[in-house]
Structure 1
Amino acid sequence: MTLRDRSCDTSLVGASGTGHVPALRTPTGRRSRNRWGGRRAWAELLRLPALFSVPGDALAGTAAAGARPGARTLLAIGSSLCLYEAGMALNDWADRDIDAVERPHRPLPSGRIRPSAALTAACAFTAAGLALAARAGRPALTVAVPLAATVWAYDLGLKHTPAGPVAMGAARGLDLLLGAAATTGRTGPALPSAALLGTHTVAVTTVSRHEAQGGAPLAPLAALATTALLTRLVTHRSAGPVTGRPPATAHGRTGLRPVRDHAGRPSPATLLTTACAAAYAATTARPYVHAALNPSPPLTQRAVGAGIRATIPLQAALTARAQGTAGALLIAALAPLGAKFARKVSVT
């Protein structure tokens, strides 16, 4: 899956400004530089820092289904990572002619990676993702197949149509359902969380459609409003009786999160949900406002990058509100790692 339409690369370049690492002053300097340049090119093509936004999908889906992560959850995460990278490679392969004009420094138009290699990688990642889903069980494969189909349909045509953002949102939602299906065999309880995550993705993808040309202040404004609405929906719960015990699910987890404890204080899950939701809103607020006030390509690209990074605290909030406290903390820990590596390789 990819959250970009025709996005620009804002990754760091070398001291010479060409994006290549200077050759080492050794007899094998050219060979060392070529090896590093190849790794750098693939890191750019696959947007490796964006991978930190993927595991939270399966973990949020598992928590929403009322279960604890297990071996099949790990298989779902592996499947999600593979399908995500398939979308990244296929995206650049499909846009190679456009990138040759608008972004000649990208790995394919610059000649650092051959188009055939990118297409082969997309096929290999797709096959690996489906194989891992099959290992997780038939319910997981039932979700992974339409997920893979959505990824390919988006990259090969839907991205340039009004249906593009919706398709991308559907892919994120399906990825969350993949975690629920793999762990519990059921997707129904996770549908509300999938809808919230998918809505966020629709908003970010809509902004990304203008990041190469800019000039669309309504898109970041709409994304800002969407963020505010999602923050409210994620944190809002009907308190109900303080002393009442919610009904248990088939997996022993409670179906509703208790908002307050017996002393009337907010529960740890409630506090964590609020903190993660606040982090989600804070990550996107300023970049969206800046892009709305000055919808230039650089500021629009920053808004898109912020929207992608904000996926992680949103996943953590969704997990925490389903009482997946440990999972939410694990997801939240991925945010600083993703931000650190995004300084070296762009996530868009």
Structure 2
Amino acid sequence: MQIMLDNLKRTYGSLHAVDGISLFIPSNTMYGIIGKSGAGKSTLVRLISLLERPDEGEVFFDDVRVDNLDKDGLIQRRRRIGMIFQNFNLFSSRNAEQNIAYPLEINGVAKAEIKERVARLLKLVGLEGRGKAPISTLSGGQKQRVAIARALATNPDILFCDEATSALDPQTTHSILSLLKEIQRKMSLTVVMITHQMEVVRDACDQVAVLNDGKVVEQGLVTDIFAHPNSEVTKEFLSHLVAFEEPTDQMVHWSKKHGAYTLRFRGGTTDQPILSKISRQSGVDFNIRAGGVQNVGDMEIGTMLVDISGSEEEKAKAIESLRQMGVVVEEEETV
């Protein structure tokens, strides 16, 4: 199920929560929407998931406009949308399997079919044999697995994850993201991840849109965004990345100072002795203040924070050589 947003706007009084957003979300993909608090993420997901109507603009699912459906049409369309939330939103009075069964019950599905589907979903999310467990006895990760199974109960074609891992510890987050990726592949779902964590985008998503002040400031393949970020918001997100599991994914700092330049290496360039070659050719010296390599999808993206010493002519030559060798060079703004 592909999603297209055309110039969506939503205001609350004087607040432009969503201010002219247009996006194309391909079918059968993991798509990230990232932004800081107040960027417009929550409002945007409410518009896409048909919980609110936009003031202006249009929402299309597979080229069919859906934001203008009547009440009955909206109810039918929402039944094919799954939602996962940060705080699980489970019924404490029901056990695991009863929580999963709830949307099937209100849709009037036969009891025998409910039982069969719930058992299949418990196995899918790794909770086989835990169906009778009271919600209070489950860990945070297990609760989120129940919430995922419940979201999948009605066989949705779109799954929204609204800060679905924000309440979890790093290891549990890693396992939930792996589970979501596996489910997406098995069910050919369109999964939209709404988050303020760039680690979620890095470890789970194929494409991403970066929001700021109700607008999209950057969008594209995750590998492209990590290798060549354009907006200051994206660069700030990347500068605060941490690892969920592998310590080698973190930046190693040798200095408290940031460095005058940020260098970004992509793919094969991460294994090349590029700086030593350019130092010999141009006569400059590189002072590396921090560096690290992380896996983004199936690609390695390297980042270095450096100072470059030499004459202005030598530095310009070195920077040009770096760019010719496929390295993205960002000069830090001086205040």
Q: Which TM-score band applies after superposition, normalised by the shorter structure? A: under 0.3
| Higher relative contact order, chain-length normalized (CA < 8 Å, sep 6+) | 1
TM-score by length of 1: 0.22
Identify, as 1 or 2, the structure richer in helix: 1
- Rg larger in 1 or in 2? 2
